[in-house]
Structure 1
Amino acid sequence: MEVLIAILIPIVILIAIVFALFGGLRSSIFFTVRTQENVIVESFGRFRRVAKPGLNMKVPFRDTLTPPISLRIQQLEVNIESKTKDNVFVTVPVAVQYVIREESVVDAYYRLSNPEAQIRSYVFDTVRSALSTLELDAAFESKDDIARGVENTLSSQMADFGFNIVNTLVTDISPDPRVRDSMNSINAAQRDRVAAQSLAEADKIKRVTQAEAEAESKRLQGEGVAAQRKAIALGIAEQYEMLKRVGIEQSAEQLLLMTQYFDTMQDVARNGRSNVLYLPSNPGSVSAMGDEIRNAMLQSQAAQKADDDADSSATRLRRAQPKRQQPSQPEGYQAAPQQPWEHPSAGSDQG
C-alpha cells in the first residue's frame, strides 16, 4: 500500500506540471481580437504588426500586445466657458464625434499620447475665437456656424494623426443665470408691448366702427327728419291752398299753426316715454302762448262775424230795391250752380 501511494504521488505531480505548461504555452501563443478593434503587436517594445479581428498568433516571451484600439465612432463632450463680444460669459457644450481610420491605426496610437486632450485643445481654441467676434444674440443665431467652424478645424488638424471627425454639435449656449433672467424679462416686456399694441389697435378699430355706425345712423335719421318735415311742409302748403280756394285767407296761417301745435302736443303725449310733460315755467311764455291761442280764436270769430254781417246787409239791400225783370233765357239754358262760398250780394251786383 505504501509502495502504491509512493508511485501515484509523482504521477499526479507530473500531470499537473504538464497541464500547467501546455495551458500557459497556449495562452502565450494564441490570442483573439474583437470586431471593430485592432491590436498592435510589439517585439521587445518595437512595432511589429497590427493584429486584425479574429484568431492571431504571437511568439511567446518575445511579442507583447497593446490595449485594444476601438474603430467605432466615439463621442467627446467638451464644456467651454468663454466671453462674447458684449462681455457676457457663456458656457458652450460641444459634442465631437470622431473615429480612427483603420489604415491609420499606427499613427493614431503612436503619434498622439492623449488624443482626447488634443481634440479638446482644438475645440477650445476654435470656439473661443468664434465667440469673441459675436454678441450674445448673434451667438445664439450662429450656433450652427460655430459647429461647422469647429468641425472644419478639427478635420484639417486631426487628419494627419489618423482621426476622422464625423460630426461636431454645439448643443447649447448657456449664459449666466442673471443674464438669462434679464433676457427673459426683456422678452416678456417686448411681448407685453406687442400685446398692448394689438389690444389698442383692436379697440381703435372697434371705436372707429362704432363712430362710423353712429354717423351713418345720424345721417339716415337726419334724412328721415328732413323727409318728414318736407312732407309736413307740403301738406301745410296744400291745406293753405285749399283754404284759399274756399275763401279763407285772413286767418289761414293762424289756424294752421294752431292745428300743428295741438297735433304736436297730442303726439308728444301719446308717444313720449314719460308720463310727465314739462311746459314753460316762465309766466310770460305761458301768457304769450295763451294770447296766441286767444288771438287766433278771436280773429277766426271776427272773420266769421264779418261774413255774417255782409250777408245780412246784402239781404236787406236786395229786399229794399224793386225787383227788376230778368232777361229771358233761351230754351234749354241752365244756370251754373252757385258755390257755397259765393256771397249773395256779389251775385245780385252781377245780375
Structure 2
Amino acid sequence: MEVTTVLGYILLFFLIIVIFSSFVTVKQGTIVVITVFGKYRRILTPGLNFKIPLIENIYSKISIQNRSVELEFQAVTYDQANVYFKAMLLYSVLNQAEETIKNVAFKFVDERNLMQALIRTVEGSIRAFVATKKQSEVLILRRDIVEHVKEQLDAILESWGYHLQDLQLNDITFDDVIMKSMSQVVASNNLKAAAENEGQALLITKTKAAEADGNAIKISAEAERQAAQLRGQGIALFREEVAKGMTMAAKEMQTANMDTSVILFTMWTESIKHFSENSKGNVIFLDGSSDAMQRTMKEMMSLNLLHTDAVKK
C-alpha cells in the first residue's frame, strides 16, 4: 500500500510537470521556434501558447525588435590614404512571416556567427566603395556610402531574414599627416576666399565712390551752368529794363524839347555816387576833365543809339 501511494505521488508530480510544461508564454517582440525531434515544426507568437509535452521542443527565441551594433574599421582610398570609420548599424528581422523566421533560426549556427557575417559584409562593401574614391572625396560622400551599402546588402540580408534599417557613419578620420594637410588646404582656401571677398568689397567701394564723385561733378556742373544761365538772363533783363527806361525817358524829353544827353549825364553822376556809397576800400580813378566827360558822354550816347536800333529791328 505504501509503495502504491509513493508511486501515485510520483506519477502525480510527473503529470503536473508535464501539464505545466505544455504551456509556453512568449514575450512581446519575440518569436519562438518549435522543433519535433530536431525538425522544424512551427512558430509561437507572443502570448500564451500550448505545445505537445516531451515531443515539441523550443529550438530558439528570436527577437523581432530593432538591434544595433557599433563598428570600427579601416579602409584605403584610391590614392592610398588610410580612412578610419566609426559606424552604427541598425538592423532587424525582416518580418514575422514563417519563412523569414525559419531563415533567421537556421541560416547561422548562433548569434555570434550572424554578427560576424553581418559586420564583415558591411565593412567589405564600404571598403570596396572607398577603394574607388580619392581621400579628398570621402568626406563629402557620406550619404553615397550609406546608399551604396544598402543597395549591396539588401538582397543578402533578406536571404538571411534580416533588413538593414540604417547605417550611420558617425566619424570618418585619416592619418594625422593627412588631417594636417587637409586643415592647411582648408585654411588656405579660406584665406583665398577672404582675400577675394575683400578685393571685391574694395572694388565695389571704389567703384561706388567714383560713381558718387562723378555724379557730384555732374550735379555741380549742371548747377553752375544753370546759375550762369540765370545770371546771364538776369543781366540781359537788367539791360533790357534799363534800355526801356532810357528809351521812355528819351521820348519824354524829346516831347518836352529837352536835350537827351542830360539822361546820360545823370546816369554817369549816379554811377559815381553808387561807387562812393558802396565801395569797400577800393580806389577808382576817374578822369574828371571836361574832355573826358564829353568823350564818355559820346560813347554812352553811341551805345544807346546802337541799342535803340537793335530794339527797332
- Cα distance in structure 2, aligned partners of 1:222 and 1:16: 127
Match of 1:171 in 2: 169
Match of 1:346 in 2: none
Structure number, greater radius of gyration: 1
- Cα distance in structure 2, aligned partners of 1:107 and 1:74: 17
Match of 1:55 among 45, 49, 53: 49
- The one of the two structures with greater contact order (alpha-carbon pairs below 8 A, sep at least 6) is 2
Match of 1:209 in 2: 208
The reply on whether 1:95 has 2:93 as its aligned counterpart is no
Q: 1:222–1:99: structure 2 CA closer, same or farther, 3 Å change rule?
A: same
- Cα distance in structure 2, aligned partners of 1:82 and 1:15: 70
Q: 1:309–1:187: structure 2 CA closer, same or farther, 3 Å change rule?
A: closer
Q: 1:11–1:188: structure 2 CA closer, same or farther, 3 Å change rule?
A: farther
The reply on whether 1:304 has 2:289 as its aligned counterpart is yes
Q: 1:78–1:220: structure 2 CA closer, same or farther, 3 Å change rule?
A: closer
Match of 1:112 in 2: 108
Deviation at 1:128, TM superposition (A): 0.3
Match of 1:82 in 2: 75
Query: Quick one: percent identity of the two aligned structures?
Result: 15
User: What is the identity, as a one-letter code, of the residue corresponding to 1:170?
Assistant: Q
Aligned residue runs from structure 1 range 266-305, under 5 A: 297=285, 300-301=286-287, 304=289
Aligned residue runs from structure 1 range 196-345, under 5 A: 196-225=195-224, 231=231, 246=264, 297=285, 300-301=286-287, 304=289, 306-307=291-292
Any conservation in 2 of the 1:119–1:154 contact (CA below 8 Å)?
no
Any conservation in 2 of the 1:148–1:168 contact (CA below 8 Å)?
no
Q: 1:309–1:176: structure 2 CA closer, same or farther, 3 Å change rule?
A: closer
Deviation at 1:59, TM superposition (A): 3.9
Q: 1:10–1:146: structure 2 CA closer, same or farther, 3 Å change rule?
A: same
In the superposition, the TM-score normalised over structure 1's length comes to 0.55
Over the residues paired in the alignment, what is the CA RMSD in angstroms?
Answer: 4.7
Q: 1:213–1:97: structure 2 CA closer, same or farther, 3 Å change rule?
A: same
SS in structure 1 of the partner of residue 35 of structure 2: strand
- Cα distance in structure 2, aligned partners of 1:51 and 1:232: 113
Q: 1:308–1:187: structure 2 CA closer, same or farther, 3 Å change rule?
A: closer
User: What is the identity, as a one-letter code, of the residue corresponding to 1:71?
Assistant: I
User: What is the identity, as a one-letter code, of the residue corresponding to 1:82?
Assistant: A
Deviation at 1:19, TM superposition (A): 6.2
Any conservation in 2 of the 1:37–1:52 contact (CA below 8 Å)?
yes
User: What is the identity, as a one-letter code, of the residue corresponding to 1:112?
Assistant: F
Any conservation in 2 of the 1:90–1:174 contact (CA below 8 Å)?
yes
- Cα distance in structure 2, aligned partners of 1:119 and 1:306: 130
- Cα distance in structure 2, aligned partners of 1:64 and 1:210: 92
User: What is the identity, as a one-letter code, of the residue corresponding to 1:70?
Assistant: S
Aligned length: 258
Deviation at 1:150, TM superposition (A): 1.8
Match of 2:309 in 1: none
The reply on whether 1:143 has 2:142 as its aligned counterpart is yes
In the superposition, the TM-score normalised over structure 2's length comes to 0.60
Match of 1:276 in 2: none
Deviation at 1:166, TM superposition (A): 4.3
SS in structure 2 of the partner of residue 155 of structure 1: helix
Any conservation in 2 of the 1:33–1:56 contact (CA below 8 Å)?
no
- Cα distance in structure 1, aligned partners of 2:104 and 2:294: 146
Q: Deviations over 1:94-141 (max 9, x none)?
A: 524231553233333233222221111211111100011122443334
Where structure 1 has 5 or more consecutive residues not aligned to the other structure, the ranges are 1-8, 248-254, 270-289, 311-338, 343-351
Deviation at 1:197, TM superposition (A): 3.4
Aligned residue runs from structure 1 range 59-74, under 5 A: 59-60=53-54, 64-74=57-67
Q: 1:15–1:185: structure 2 CA closer, same or farther, 3 Å change rule?
A: farther
Any conservation in 2 of the 1:33–1:51 contact (CA below 8 Å)?
no
Q: Deviations over 1:7-47 (max 9, x none)?
A: xx99998897566434433344443434541223242xx22
- Cα distance in structure 2, aligned partners of 1:144 and 1:228: 71
Any conservation in 1 of the 2:88–2:169 contact (CA below 8 Å)?
yes
Match of 1:38 among 32, 39, 54: 32
Any conservation in 2 of the 1:37–1:69 contact (CA below 8 Å)?
yes
- Cα distance in structure 2, aligned partners of 1:65 and 1:307: 147
